[in-house]
Amino acid sequence: MKIGESLTPEVVTAKRGDEVRWVNTTSGPVDILFEQSQVDFISCQRGFVSTGWGYLFASSEEEVLVVATVHLYAARDFIEALLAQPVRRRALFAGLYLGLALPAAGAFLVGVGVPLAVRGFGNELLGACATLLISGVLLTLTFVAIACCVVFIVEDRLRGLGVALGVWGLLAVLYDAGVLMFVAMASDRPLEKPLLALTFANPIDLARVSLLLRLDTAGLMGYTGAAFQHFFTEWWGAGLALAALTGWVAIPVVVSARAFNRKDF
């Protein structure tokens, strides 16, 4: 097969054990999409390079959550020393939160944005890259706020770190397992609206779905994927998703600020 402005030939029929060779005649890389049910039966001599951007959120936010939690627990004596001074608690909390959130968000922008800028991307990926950067920054702010909630509510350090890891595991792994069980049990009913609601209830899933739909993978998700694409590509749908991610930042910030103001150090 020759991959250029068009495929030559356009249709190839291959049986199990057959070898298919293709030549990329374009100047850039080529994304080849396979049906999920066929991935386990396909291999490449030189190996495939996956564009699993959706998994970037889960891995990076775990690091942010753990680092922020450990740092805040280690800084408890320093916080107590500052509270002995004529410093308002609101100002101190703002300094603690922004001192962690802004560098973490900047590190995400540099670590992801610079390679994307160096590698270059066409106009068709501009929306996906913007979604990746905006969602990543908002998720970083969210998980720093969650770390503040854990530290200022849970007194014991080991227990607090366990709670933080449990929150990440719930949002990144167990939540998706629960959604899959729900889909399997209610497969004979229309699921577009319930799945949209479940997506908005998890910031990682919301960012992941928003990004994947920008990569034109909704065609592999069936009718539900088409409904998701129709929702998230409309300006009001994208604005609602952005507002939901912003709300996921605001809610833990407010909760952690109240816990910090009421905490007896």
Rg (CA), the chain: 22
CA gap 260, 97 in Å, rounded: 11
Q: Report H helices in 170-262.
A: 175-185, 192-200, 203-214, 222-233, 235-262
Instruction: Please report whether residue 1 resides in a domain.
Output: no
CA gap 129, 118 in Å, rounded: 13
Instruction: Please report whether residue 169 resides in a domain.
Output: yes
Instruction: Please report whether residue 16 resides in a domain.
Output: no
What single string gives the DSSP state of each residue in 93-116? HHHHHHHHHHHHHHHHIIIIIHHH
Instruction: Please report whether residue 46 resides in a domain.
Output: no
The reported pLDDT for the residue numbered 48 is 45
Domains identified in the chain, total number: 1
The reported pLDDT for the residue numbered 51 is 45
- Is 0.75 surpassed by the pTM of this model? no
Mean pLDDT, range 39-60, rounded to an integer: 53
Instruction: Please report whether residue 30 resides in a domain.
Output: no
Instruction: Please report whether residue 24 resides in a domain.
Output: no
Instruction: Please report whether residue 40 resides in a domain.
Output: no
Indicate whether 251 pLDDT > 90.
yes
The burial of 144, by beta-carbon neighbours within 10 Å (0-12 exposed, 13-18 middle, 19 or more buried), is given as buried
Indicate whether 212 pLDDT > 60.
yes
Give the pLDDT band of residue 59 (cuts 50, 70, 90).
low
Backbone angles phi, psi at 71, to 5 degrees: -65, -45
The reported pLDDT for the residue numbered 60 is 74
Mean pLDDT, range 32-61, rounded to an integer: 54
**Contact of 53 with 131, CB cutoff 8 Å:** no
The reported pLDDT for the residue numbered 175 is 86
Indicate whether 165 pLDDT > 70.
yes
Indicate whether 222 pLDDT > 80.
no
Instruction: Please report whether residue 35 resides in a domain.
Output: no
pLDDT in tens, 107-134: 989 988 888 788 766 666 777 788 888 9
Range of the domain at 77: 54-262
